[in-house]
Chains A and B, each alone.
Chain A
Amino acid sequence: MDALLMQHLLNWLVLGSIYTLIALGFSLLFGVLNVIHFSHGDVAMVGPFIALAIVQAVTAMAMPLGASAALLVAILAAMAAIGLLGVLLDWLVIRRFRTSPAMMALVATVALGTVIREMIRTLYPQGSNPKPFPAIATGVIQIGDVVIPVFSLIVIGVSVAMVAALFALISHTPVGVRIRAVAEDLSIARLMAVRPDRIFAVTFFIASAVGAIGAVFFVSHAGVVRFDFGIQLGLIGFSAAVIGGLGSMNGAILGSLLIAGVDVLVQVLVPDGASYRLVFIFMLTILVLVFKPSGMLGKPVFEKV
């Protein structure tokens, strides 16, 4: 296969994977809690910063861990931490808007995103400056004259694994059943002795942790991290989820692949494409929303009159 084409394909899959990890969070949170968590991207972006801090702490303490092992530990720890952060934010802020009009919850989570970003910027040493993020893997695999970066394989592989695990969790575990019950009908679920608070917490944990790894992949791919990367990543992830149909996990995947496809195509086909990628991505989002307001796989909501 043409080496260049392979490179583009890989790029598409890598970006698609990253966006999927974020979009899944949005869809999950909307499906189960009926909340549009606008700050999801910013919450996820705290992950790389925590990972960075841990790596630096480990290096400073000169522990007998190789660089890769240290990074791995840092990333895993960051995932757990962000999962907990998500739960904390729900408890502090988001749950107070469960019964509010959608608009208020929306503005509140937008503001929450700002707060998180600013806290990163002010609390992390020299937070305003971009920080280099270590590459997760630098090697390549060569098949014929096709060069495949190990990093791409890791991203795609881990993402597929996470998505599969998530699907398995939702479909085949008791917790998953409860999550689906709550997503489908909260009042009935309550009657069936499901504790919604617990399910909400679990959902936030999963969504945030998965988002964190998406953010880590994103910054590793980019090589740097900045406190406000969460805005863009969050918006793209949200757009992907919306295009696919909020609440639909398949939709999140579909939307992410679509957006990643546009992203790559624009960079390849349009002169000076890198500057215009956001324009095309968001124009696509607008177009889809105009013609299919509930997204491609979303179920149109019938208001009971």
Chain B
Amino acid sequence: MSHPLLEVRGLSIRFGGLVAVAEVDLTLNHSEVVCIIGPNGAGKSTLFNLISGIYRPTHGSMKLEGKDITGWPAHRIAAAGIARTFQSSRLFNDLTLLDNVLIGMHTRTRSGVFDALLRPATARAELEAAAARAGELLHAVSPQLHARRHTLAGALPQADRRRLEIVRALASEPRVIMLDEPSSGMDDRDTDGLMADVRRVMAERPGLSFLIIEHDMRLVAALPDRVAVIDYGRKIADGDFSQVRLMPRVQEAYLGQKAAHHA
């Protein structure tokens, strides 16, 4: 494969006087898992928002499989194959689990308003088929979730909300899935469960690449192929975690200059 899957070059955004992300280069290859780490407020979520099209960059470029997607609006980027979750699990709370996943399939279904009104049988058939697939997806990740698929998403506990959001993201059959702090608020047991889920998804979908923002170092040590460190909006390191964590610049970022010297 000549192209990397996702290629980000010199990506920058400023809000007024504040430069939130500056000149970030990032490459994501097929079937790769990259973790984005860095201290709080470093701009990691902002980077995600740039890549997923919620923000438009002020400088820089993004390419997905060689195709320029710079400045594309969020819904086009989703259709192109980049899916994401949010730090605070933005589910559609007053809709059922199944509906949530179905909406995730929006880009893989086609019926528009005229189909719905004038060719209801076809539209309905497509929707029911999608619902069946959605059910399967849910079941593959969690039979418990599948059993509750007709209940409202708002009623789910935290760990299940994360799971549902991941299922919803997978429903669009993406090439890249971005997880924003999936383990935040979880205890060790839930985090282990999450890692197992992610590994299972990786195994079932060999071509899929992951971009994960994480703070939990257990996860960061075990899961990704590579790690990229962001500090003050800039990428300061990129490579294998065992090497990156020893770099003085990285330690400075997390611990502060003085402490890093002593570490």
A interface residue numbers (CB < 8 A to B): 302, 305
- How far is it, in angstroms, between the C-alpha of A154 and the C-alpha of B173 when the chains are bound? 69
Structural contact, B15 and A302, CB atoms closer than 8 A? yes
Q: Which residues of B contact A302 (CB under 8 A)?
A: 15
Counting CB contacts under 8 A, is B142 at the interface? no
Residue of A nearest to B15 (CB): A302
- How far is it, in angstroms, between the C-alpha of A305 and the C-alpha of B48 when the chains are bound? 10
Interface residue count on the B side (C-beta < 8 Å): 5
- How far is it, in angstroms, between the C-alpha of A305 and the C-alpha of B86 when the chains are bound? 8
Main secondary structure of the interface of B (DSSP, over half): mixed
B interface residue numbers (CB < 8 A to A): 15, 45, 49, 54, 86
Structural contact, A305 and B15, CB atoms closer than 8 A? no
- How far is it, in angstroms, between the C-alpha of A230 and the C-alpha of B86 when the chains are bound? 45
- How far is it, in angstroms, between the C-alpha of A302 and the C-alpha of B15 when the chains are bound? 10
- How far is it, in angstroms, between the C-alpha of A12 and the C-alpha of B86 when the chains are bound? 51
Q: Which residues of A contact B54 (CB under 8 A)?
A: 305
The 5 A-B pairs with the shortest beta carbon distances in the complex, nearest first, are A305-B49, A305-B54, A305-B45, A302-B15, A305-B86
- 5 sample A-B contacts, Cβ–Cβ < 8 Å, listed by A number: A302-B15, A305-B45, A305-B49, A305-B54, A305-B86
Q: Which residues of A contact B15 (CB under 8 A)?
A: 302
Residue of B nearest to A302 (CB): B15
Q: Which residues of B contact A305 (CB under 8 A)?
A: 45, 49, 54, 86
Say how far A304's CB is from chain B's closest CB, in angstroms.
9
- How far is it, in angstroms, between the C-alpha of A305 and the C-alpha of B15 when the chains are bound? 14
Residue of B nearest to A303 (CB): B54
Q: Which residues of A contact B49 (CB under 8 A)?
A: 305
Say how far B83's CB is from chain A's closest CB, in angstroms.
15
- How far is it, in angstroms, between the C-alpha of A61 and the C-alpha of B8 when the chains are bound? 82
- How far is it, in angstroms, between the C-alpha of A189 and the C-alpha of B157 when the chains are bound? 32
Say how far B78's CB is from chain A's closest CB, in angstroms.
15
Say how far A152's CB is from chain B's closest CB, in angstroms.
41
Say how far B101's CB is from chain A's closest CB, in angstroms.
22
- How far is it, in angstroms, between the C-alpha of A305 and the C-alpha of B45 when the chains are bound? 8
Say how far A305's CB is from chain B's closest CB, in angstroms.
5
Say how far B43's CB is from chain A's closest CB, in angstroms.
12
Residue of B nearest to A299 (CB): B16
- How far is it, in angstroms, between the C-alpha of A302 and the C-alpha of B16 when the chains are bound? 12
Q: Which residues of A contact B45 (CB under 8 A)?
A: 305
